[in-house]
Structure 1
Amino acid sequence: MEFFWELAADWTVNFRQGLFRYLLATVSTGVLLGWLFRRWAAPRRIQERRAGWRDIRRELSFSMLTLAVFATTGVITLILADWGLVKLYHRWDSYPLWWHLASLPVVILLHDAYFYWTHRAMHHPKLFRHFHRVHHLSRTPTPWTAYSFSIGEAALMALFSPLIMMLLPLHVLVWLVFLFVMIFRNAMLHAGYEFHPRGWVDGPLDFMTTTTHHDLHHQQFRGNYGFYFTWWDRWMGTEFNNYKEEFRRAAGAGTPVAGAKQGDASAMT
């Protein structure tokens, strides 16, 4: 019985930590755009339509479900750690300095690839309804959309954590930083306002996705599957042809995006 109480305690800790990160990212993004910098943000709205309170309540409800799935995965990861299968470590002298510096970019690159291919797979007609439909109920996303998943999608997204920790040795602080990067990036991509300067898509950092990049995905469902980077979409022909045009519109004059033109439709599955 004591074992199950310990599992319940670990689950509660994992849930609270996940909830803290989620609320920190979503609330701070909402406060910045809706209050502190609302005059700057107003002309940068990507869609004319606004999400209603019913949409936000739904997103919050499913996000709590997602956090429960994440907490369960966290408990499973702790069990795997007890079995010696997880390579998470605490001492900085366990690995050389170059690995401490390189491990975070490596995890982000691997997560981007994992996200692209699982995300694209969930858009397959036989999988979409069971995995990804809930997330796309948010046609006009908000920061709260970040974790609005079905149980199946939440489990698939959570699976990356134990897999990567079994594959790579990672310092606990590096992993914690990754978790914060992931949720803040997620909230930003669903914010509904374009954060980046107008020249972003014509500069050297064009390989990084923008809010417009992901917002177009929510409008059209297929295409623009990437999370951190645009590489996979461009390599696989799944980026919208008029993405840069729509980005400039959102980041410049602020004309609402009416729609998006897809690239090769045969590739967008």
Structure 2
Amino acid sequence: MIPNVLSQGGNVKLMNHSFCFYSFFFFGIIFARYFLIAGGAYLLFYLVLGKSLAKRSLRLKPPLSQSIWKDVELSILSAVIFAFCSAFIISEYDLGVTLLYTDLCEYGLWYLGVSFVAVLILQDTYFYFMHRMFHHRLLFRWMHFGHHRSEEPTPWSSFAFDLPEAIVQALFFIGIVFLVPLHFIALVALLMTMTIWAMLNHLGFELFPPSFKSHWFGRWFIGATHHSIHHRKYTVHYGLYFTLWDKLLGTQDPNYENYFHFGNFPVSATENEKVLCSHCQRTATNGIQCKGICVADNDY
């Protein structure tokens, strides 16, 4: 009896040490990934190619260093949360209770691709409804305001989540490894896709030509213009990868194609375009003024 208890106690200590090691290890990996991808994109598009790509810029004004630092601070916090979740997933994998696997022959190569696409669609669905929920006036202030604090996004904004939002986003991956058999290659590919796609959505430059919007790929996939509109008009464009849910549920901006084709990006609205702010329920111009009204009055 006593040896068994001692053995169990030793296993608990070993698991605690493993969890701590995994947490530090994954924090380093996650933050390095963020810094290299977001920092590299910012260096390339804002400092090296900024002037030559001025016509493709979606910004109204240059980014402020203070806003960038705030985004980096939130991203460090998000990296901590995702590191804890990653450590938990690997710890559970070590115990054999997840559906993660390493043998490609177990489900076949075809399943590797199918599972990647399926989980990508599931994540986009999860993200859409969570993101839309975050914009409810009772939740926005403490769950999502940090992401919109810099007003116009940069690549540094791609991982800038408030603590509750970071937890909700990370919980998707915890849930999925218990529900869907996933090879580690597929899991890593999903995480890299999420990171790179989020960076492109927050890039602040439209890299694709106007004709791209007419292509089938352009009609169904989200890019920088699509998501930048969301950062100015909070009541539209909640998806992560695909425009499907925005189209189905009426949150696709009806002028999106004009913005993309002709570069008529929303700066301000006319009197006829004024709507009720979804957060404070006061009159707002395309949701843009709600930052000046709600935030100043702490009405979120």
**TM-score normalized with structure 1 length:** 0.91
Two-structure CA RMSD over aligned residues (Å): 2.2
Q: State the 1:105 CA deviation.
A: 1.0
1:246 maps to which residue? 259
2:176 maps to which residue? 164
Q: State the 1:8 CA deviation.
A: 1.4
Unaligned runs of 5+ in 1: none
1:70 counterpart = 2:82: yes
Supply the distance in 2 between the matched residues of 1:217 and 1:54 (Cα, whole angstroms): 22
Change (3 A) 1:130 1:35: closer
Supply the distance in 1 between the matched residues of 2:257 and 2:268 (Cα, whole angstroms): 13
**CA contact 2:23–2:87 (8 Å) conserved in 1:** yes
1:94 counterpart = 2:103: no
Change (3 A) 1:2 1:98: closer
1:130 counterpart = 2:178: no
Q: Secondary structure at the match of 2:197?
A: helix
Larger relative contact order (Cα-Cα within 8 Å, sequence gap ≥ 6): 1
Residue 151 of structure 2, aligned match among 139, 145, 152? 139
The amino acid that maps onto 1:34 is Y
Question: Percent identity among equivalent residues?
Answer: 29
Q: Secondary structure at the match of 2:204?
A: coil
Q: Deviations over 1:51-83 (max 9, x none)?
A: 200000000011000100111111221233234
**CA contact 1:48–1:257 (8 Å) conserved in 2:** no
Residue 210 of structure 1, aligned match among 223, 227, 233? 223
Residue 237 of structure 2, aligned match among 201, 213, 224? 224
1:194 maps to which residue? 206
Residue 121 of structure 1, aligned match among 124, 133, 142? 133
Q: Deviations over 1:140-188 (max 9, x none)?
A: 1000001111110000010111111111111111111111111010011
Supply the distance in 1 between the matched residues of 2:101 and 2:181 (Cα, whole angstroms): 7
**TM-score normalized with structure 2 length:** 0.82
2:42 maps to which residue? 30
Please give the residue correspondences for 1:47-62 in structure 2 after superposition, counting only pairs within 5 Å: 47-62=59-74
1:4 maps to which residue? 16
1:104 maps to which residue? 116
Q: State the 1:84 CA deviation.
A: 3.0
1:181 maps to which residue? 193
Q: State the 1:85 CA deviation.
A: 2.8
Q: Secondary structure at the match of 1:134?
A: helix
**CA contact 1:66–1:149 (8 Å) conserved in 2:** yes
Change (3 A) 1:96 1:157: same
Supply the distance in 2 between the matched residues of 1:257 and 1:41 (Cα, whole angstroms): 19
1:41 maps to which residue? 53
Supply the distance in 2 between the matched residues of 1:198 and 1:8 (Cα, whole angstroms): 49
Q: State the 1:33 CA deviation.
A: 1.4
The amino acid that maps onto 1:184 is I
Change (3 A) 1:104 1:18: same
2:7 maps to which residue? none
Supply the distance in 2 between the matched residues of 1:84 and 1:124 (Cα, whole angstroms): 39
Q: State the 1:36 CA deviation.
A: 4.9
Q: Secondary structure at the match of 1:126?
A: coil
The amino acid that maps onto 2:108 is P
**CA contact 2:15–2:91 (8 Å) conserved in 1:** no
Supply the distance in 2 between the matched residues of 1:260 and 1:148 (Cα, whole angstroms): 28
- Max radius of gyration: which structure? 2
Residue 152 of structure 1, aligned match among 164, 168, 193? 164
Q: State the 1:96 CA deviation.
A: 1.8
How many residues are aligned here?
A: 263
**CA contact 2:58–2:206 (8 Å) conserved in 1:** yes
Q: Secondary structure at the match of 1:121?
A: helix
